[in-house]
Structure 1
């Protein structure tokens, strides 16, 4: 009988061991599945964050590029106007109107940067737009001075003012480009 009892006890122990093993396997599978789900959720979250940061950077790049392109168009037209002023003063009202329209476009491009930031880029874009406005006003003042000038030297103060405005605008553009580059180069 001892062998029979030992066999029954061994069978019960095997059955209990198999049951515990089954529970452990089920628990392990459940924990493994939970960890897999958590890892997938974390990956999706990180990927979503990275994609959003990339999207914001692309929006900034486009806004900065638009501002630079609009400013370049304004500068090209302004340089043509300076050549016209030097050759046959004063500037025509059509030329002044065209320059003012391009200045408005620059202001709108700078305003779009307010949507995407950062604040330093917004500040530099506003400074660039103000410097462009100051340069246009200086050019208009120079043009008006040519109408009343009796000699070449009478326009010198206005030409000097235009030169100073040009220097300020050049600095403002360089500052904006520096901030735009550093913002776009920063890790998302």
Structure 2
């Protein structure tokens, strides 16, 4: 009996070992497959991230470049307007459209990032649009001032004629009085004399004409002064915007250069 049990026990042990080996092998195979799958997933993820980063960098480069093209177009239009002394609203249309293009491309930069480039681009676009609004307002104020001054001209010719007529009649009255005195005649004889009446009418015309001229001159000076004051304020805005754009251009260029110089892994996190 003992002889029979020993082989049986050995067989049981062998079967258990085989079963255990099968389980361990299966577990090892599963673990190996999971690790392999994880490695593949990680590789695919990393490859996708790298490809996306390269795509993002290319999109940024193209968008930054198109934004600067719109900015340079605004500068060319502004320079051309200054050289030709353009002073009509139609001449600002090209500048307005170019400024609108800057705004549209700044919005795309806001999508692509990073934040520092976005802020600089938005600042450049906003100040350029404000320049367009200020330029439009300047032309409107100038035209309104010219129209108002032209609508109330100073009666220079009429004033000159009235002044000369008044001087002439005054001289006639002076000669008449001098003649009466030299002849020893009573000055009361001059009451109602036609020359005195004409001189009084001439003096009244001169008073009215000179009053109109003074009032027209006063109103025109006030209107021109108001327009000049507003023009100085607008000039201050334009100067501040110019200085702000110079700073924003430097920030944009520096931030864009840094964003484009990043390696793909860096690009994956710089938009967070």
Q: TM-score, normalized by length of structure 2? A: 0.51
The answer to whether the 8 A contact 1:131-1:172 is kept is no
Query: How far 1:118 moved relative to its partner?
Result: 3.2
Alignment of 1:27-38 (within 5 A): 27-38=27-38
Query: How far 1:124 moved relative to its partner?
Result: 1.5
Structure-2 change in CA distance of 1:34 and 1:160 (3 Å): closer
Query: How far 1:11 moved relative to its partner?
Result: 5.3
Alignment of 1:80-119 (within 5 A): 80-85=80-85, 90-119=86-115
Aligned length: 179
- Please state if 1:180 is matched with 2:256: yes
Which residue of structure 2 lines up, in the alignment, with residue 128 of structure 1?
Answer: 124
Alignment of 1:20-31 (within 5 A): 20-31=20-31
The answer to whether the 8 A contact 1:113-1:122 is kept is yes
Q: Select the structure with the greater relative contact order (CA < 8 A; seq sep ≥ 6).
A: 2
Query: How far 1:32 moved relative to its partner?
Result: 0.8
Range with greater deviation from structure 2 (123-132 or 7-16): 7-16
- Please state if 1:56 is matched with 2:132: no
Alpha carbon RMSD of aligned pairs, Å? 3.8
Which residue of structure 1 lines up, in the alignment, with residue 247 of structure 2?
Answer: 171
Structure 2 residue runs of 5 or longer lacking an equivalent are: 147-227, 268-272
Inter-partner Cα distance in structure 1 for 2:122 and 2:12: 84
Inter-partner Cα distance in structure 2 for 1:25 and 1:160: 83
Which residue of structure 2 lines up, in the alignment, with residue 17 of structure 1?
Answer: 17
Range with greater deviation from structure 2 (128-137 or 63-72): 128-137
Structure-2 change in CA distance of 1:18 and 1:160 (3 Å): closer
Query: How far 1:16 moved relative to its partner?
Result: 4.0
Query: How far 1:162 moved relative to its partner?
Result: 5.0
Structure 1 residue runs of 5 or longer lacking an equivalent are: 149-153
- Please state if 1:41 is matched with 2:60: no
Query: How far 1:80 moved relative to its partner?
Result: 1.8
Structure-2 change in CA distance of 1:159 and 1:82 (3 Å): farther
Q: TM-score, normalized by length of structure 1? A: 0.70
Structure-2 change in CA distance of 1:164 and 1:27 (3 Å): closer
Bigger Rg, structure 1 or 2: 2
